[in-house]
Chain A
Amino acid sequence: MRRMAPRTIALVAIVAGVVISVGVEVGSAVRSHRDASSAAPSVASTPLEAVITGPHILFRNTLPGAGYGLVAAVPLADPTGPRAFTTVACDTLARAGEATVCLRTVRGVATTYEAATLDAGWATVQTWPLSGIPSSTRSSPDGTMIATTAYIANHCSTQIAPPTETRIRGSDGTDLGNLESWTLLVDGAPFAAVDRNLWDVSFVDDDTFYVTVGSQSAGTTWLATGTVSTRTITSVRAGGQNPAVSPDGSKVAYTTPSQDQAGRTVQVYAVLDVGSGTQTLYPATEGGHGQVEWLDGTTFLYAAPRTDQPATTDVWALDTSAPDPRPQVLIAGAWSPTVVRSTSSEARRAATAEPISPSS
């Protein structure tokens, strides 16, 4: 034992040094977290009821401070004005008729993930588990179909499995299954690649939707359309991902790779005119992530992380009808914008005609 003494001393010194430095770091993180949560939201806020009775935009607030991660709303007429906070936290959200679909992380010693539908008073109506980290959710225009995409928490060293799971379910709780198990046709032929992956659904109506099909072995992605009634998905166009169809169904916005001025490949948004098949690229939208949300027939919204502040994102708007379309920040510190066009408290009360029945 005597011979080991110098080593033991060195080890004890290293362990003590590491424990103290890690302790200091954790302590300061806890302190700054406490300061941030007790601080007032770093933005002007307004009462919720006044905002959500009229047309509004729902989103996940990503401004640092007490309201981080909570669902908030701004009036459609004044999106840059003060926001109204709910008390509900969602990673991503969508509107399904009069309900709000909320994908969220259930933190704990064992962290899990779930989807929930929330009623007009933000109370949970039903929940169902997700296989991984929430990615996106969309619903059909009347809210009867809900699609969710989650990153599969796949944790095996020798595992070749899809990185996402996309499912469609009825708002009444019927599970229509994983889209990977549906019939998939690419260029008219059944698709054979087993590493197929589907993500980001955008509904045209109750039955028809757009979705991204990808395969690492095929080295490409496709925009595809699917039909719920026949459980069939057919490729429409090679290249592009995260489709989002405009309210009148005439345009589809999606991301596509493009070269920037320095010759690097970046993802930018493009809009496909469904009737003519023409594609328009918007190179200025570089940096945006995920599906867009259409504000109206010509303007789309997308979220992009701030380069200097990784956890904070902004929602940008791009008017495709403008002569020189340039994106502009519409809502600072926001993610997952969802436009709620026609709603009133009266309409919501009348919605009992089509209730969302809890399942499970």
Chain B
Amino acid sequence: MDPTTQDEQTAADQPVAECTRPTTSGTRQLPPATGRTAEEIRAQRAARNARVSSTVVTLGIVSLLTDISSESVAAILPLYLTTALGMTTLAYGFVDGLMQGASALVRIAGGWAADRGDHPKWVAFAGYGLSALTRAGLLLTTGFVAITSLVAIDRVGKGLRTSPRDAMIAASSNPKNLGRSFGVHRMLDTVGAAVGPLLAFVVLWLLPDGYHTVFVISFGCAVIGLAVLGLMVPDLRPRQASWLGAHQTRSERKLPSCKGCTCSDGAVPTLTERPFSWRFVTEPALRRVLIVAGVLALLTVGDGFVYLSLQARDGFATTWFPLLYVGTNIAYMLLAIPVGRLADRVGRAKVFVAAHAMLAGAYACAAVGGASATTTIAALALLGAFYAGTDGVLAAVVGQRAAPAVRASAIGTAQTVVAVARMAASSAFGVLWYTLGRQPAIVWVGVLLTLALPVCWFALRGIDRPGPAVLTSDEVAPAR
């Protein structure tokens, strides 16, 4: 067993027994709640309130540093391209398009590589490393083609790292507080996304042509983030851990029996017999989640349209238009943990669907006449709540349903489905926007979304109850 998979703290807590499965997590494991005795309910609550794994916090810090790095550059890149390099309008549109398209499809590939090799950390490391390299590239080049290529590579890196990282969060968390674990990670991540642009603007405020300085700071943050990941995050082996959990005796592990040896004597057999399979996609519960997430994403038109709508009527929104996304990020940051906790308590799938009601609320704010600073701020808060209730929560729903051996692929698939569907939604909404006009278009989407919500709620009933996929996974195998 790889020593790094064992968190010291957990090792001390666990009963010393032969053939216990190696944990992939940093927190206590509890047997599944089958009964509903007061004691068990109390135990469940305790599990929900248990500390979030140190691995999750470390991954959050990695994301925070990386987001400072990427968002500080993203915020000033348009200014840099147009003001410092004097590029034309269409050229900038091209950069923007590249940013959007490049990352969606790489996510599945990242998840697949993580599951297949069973080293999600190093797949994520490759993704973070790729992005860090592009920061170094920005320091060296001023050419348009070079910069657009760097932007594309950065997005590939982001796509590559997302699902392995989320699989690691799922693997190192107690299933009872998975929602909160993702909430903690997303909160730290979003702190970086809010700090990055402000840091960049402060640098440019003090040094009007300080683009190079921003790139240096960005590269520094990326390198530190990469170092924290490489040095401080354990090399989790979710598939191996799951196999060992399912094969608890020496004979099951196909090790020769011998007197007096414990099952951890002798290396873990190289797990060649674990064919990776995409069959998880056909697992009914998971398929239901993917379909519902896809349908809801088809009615998610992108907050840019909400901002444009607000801006068209409200002076406050116009003045702050370039920074509205920072407001959404701040709301997301504040709500990520509370919403994650709520998801653990009332059900993650329920919260996931309900978060889309927040989105419908944001549409309503954008659609009402006589918009003011209040509607704008309400819309930003609702969008923040929407992200808090969808992004990490979806990863938690899928991470909880999918077997550990395919978890990264399953999370990557769900995220790709959502990203592709949202892109399609934005394109289709663009058509509505021009044919019906801004306000009717947003009202239409809001109405459709509101109608879809009860259907989706119904379609996902029971998903939060531990299903067969959960029982066969190592996560809830009794650790006795």
Q: Which residues of A contact B (CB under 8 A)?
A: 1, 3, 7-8, 10-11, 14-15, 18-19, 21-22, 25-26, 29-30, 33, 68-69, 91, 105, 107-114, 129, 131-133, 135, 149, 151, 153-164, 178, 192, 194-197, 199-200, 214, 216, 221, 241-242, 255, 267, 289-290, 303-305, 310-311, 313, 360
Interface mask (B202-226 → A, CB under 8 Å = 1, otherwise 0): 1011111110110011001001100
Contacts of A105 in B (CB 8 A): 79, 83
Could you tell me the dominant secondary structure of chain B's interface residues?
A: helix
User: Do residues B320 and A163 form an inter-chain contact, with CB atoms below 8 A?
Assistant: no
Establish whether residues A159 and B302, one from each chain, have CB atoms under 8 Å apart when the complex forms: yes
Are A160 and B227 within 8 A (Cβ)? no
Residues on the A chain within 8 Å of B78, using CB: 132-133, 151, 153
Q: Which residues of A contact B322 (CB under 8 A)?
A: 111-113, 131-132, 153, 155
| Binding stretch for chain A, among B27-35, B87-95, B115-123, B280-288 | B87-95
A67–chain B nearest beta-carbon distance, Å: 12
Question: A160 touching B427 by the CB < 8 A rule?
Answer: yes
Tell me whether B93 and A29 are in contact (CB under 8 A): no
Q: For window 1-28 of chain B, which residues contact chain A by CB distance below 8 Å?
A: 3, 8
**A22 to B220, Cβ gap below 8 A?**
yes
C-alpha gap A109/B202 in the complex (Å) = 5
Interface residue? B464 (CB, 8 A): no
Residues in A with CB closer than 8 Å to B373 are none
Ranked nearest first, the 9 interchain pairs of A and B with the lowest CB-CB distance are A153-B322, A163-B93, A194-B430, A159-B304, A22-B220, A305-B86, A158-B422, A129-B319, A14-B227
A151 partner residues in chain B, CB cutoff 8 A: 78, 82, 89, 92
Which A residues are in CB contact (< 8 Å) with B325? 155-156
Contact A107 B208 (CB under 8 A): yes
Q: Tell whether A18 pairs with B311 under 8 Å between CB atoms, given A11-B227, A160-B427.
A: no
Count of chain B residues with a beta carbon within 8 Å of a chain A beta carbon:
71
Contact (Cβ within 8 A) B217 A26:
yes
* B206 cross-chain contacts in A, Cβ below 8 A: 30, 33
- On whether the beta carbons of B319 and A241 are closer than 8 Å, the reply is no
Would A25 and B213 be within 8 Å (CB), given that A7-B231, A113-B322 are in contact?
yes
Q: Are the C-beta atoms of A163 and B96 separated by less than 8 Å? A: yes
Contacts A133-B82, A156-B304, A156-B325 given; indicate if A197 touches B201 (C-beta within 8 A).
no
- Check B198 for interface membership: any CB of A closer than 8 A: yes
B333 CB to closest chain A CB (Å) equals 16
Within 8 A of A (CB), among B42-90: 74-75, 78-79, 82-90
**CB pair A164 B321 closer than 8 Å:** no
Q: Which chain B residues numbered 303 to 347 have a C-beta less than 8 Å away from chain A?
A: 303-305, 308, 311-312, 315, 318-323, 325-326
Q: Could you tell me the distance between the alpha carbons of A200 and B305 in the complex, rounded to whole angstroms?
A: 23
A32 to chain B: closest residue by CB: B207
Say yes or no: A22 contacts B216, CB within 8 Å: yes
A91-B83, A112-B320, A132-B78 known; A154 vs B90 contact (CB < 8 Å): no
Confirm or deny: B431 has a beta carbon within 8 angstroms of a beta carbon on chain A: yes
Q: What residues of chain B lie closer than 8 Å to A156, measured between beta carbons?
A: 302-304, 325
* B84/A310 in contact, CB under 8 A: yes
Contact A110 B198 (CB under 8 A): yes
User: Would you call B323 and A110 a contact (CB within 8 A)?
Assistant: yes
Given A133-B79, A135-B89, A164-B89, CB of A158 within 8 Å of CB of B419: yes
Please tell me which one of the listed residues B100, B208, B231 contacts residue A160 in the complex, with CB atoms under 8 A apart.
Answer: B100
Is residue B447 within 8 Å, beta carbon to beta carbon, of the partner chain?
no
Residue contact A163 to B205, C-beta cutoff 8 Å: no
Asked if residues B216 and A26 are in contact (CB atoms below 8 Å), the reply is: yes
Q: Kindly state the separation between the CA atoms of A156 and B94 in the bound complex, as whole angstroms.
A: 15
Q: Which of B362-404 contact A (CB under 8 A)?
A: none
Additional pairs, 12, CB under 8 Å, beyond known A156-B303, A311-B209: A11-B227, A29-B210, A109-B205, A151-B82, A157-B99, A161-B302, A161-B308, A161-B430, A192-B434, A216-B94, A310-B84, A310-B85
Q: Beyond A158-B422, A161-B308, is A25–B216 a contact (Cβ under 8 Å)?
A: yes
Q: Which residues of the other chain, A, contact B75 by a CB distance below 8 angstroms?
A: 155
Q: Are A154 and B304 in contact (CB under 8 A)?
A: yes
Question: Quick one: closest B residue to A1, CB to CB?
Answer: B8
A160 near B88: Cβ-Cβ < 8 Å: no
Out of A1, A33, A109, A199, name the residue touching B207 (CB < 8 Å): A33
Question: B86–A289 contact, CB under 8 A?
Answer: yes
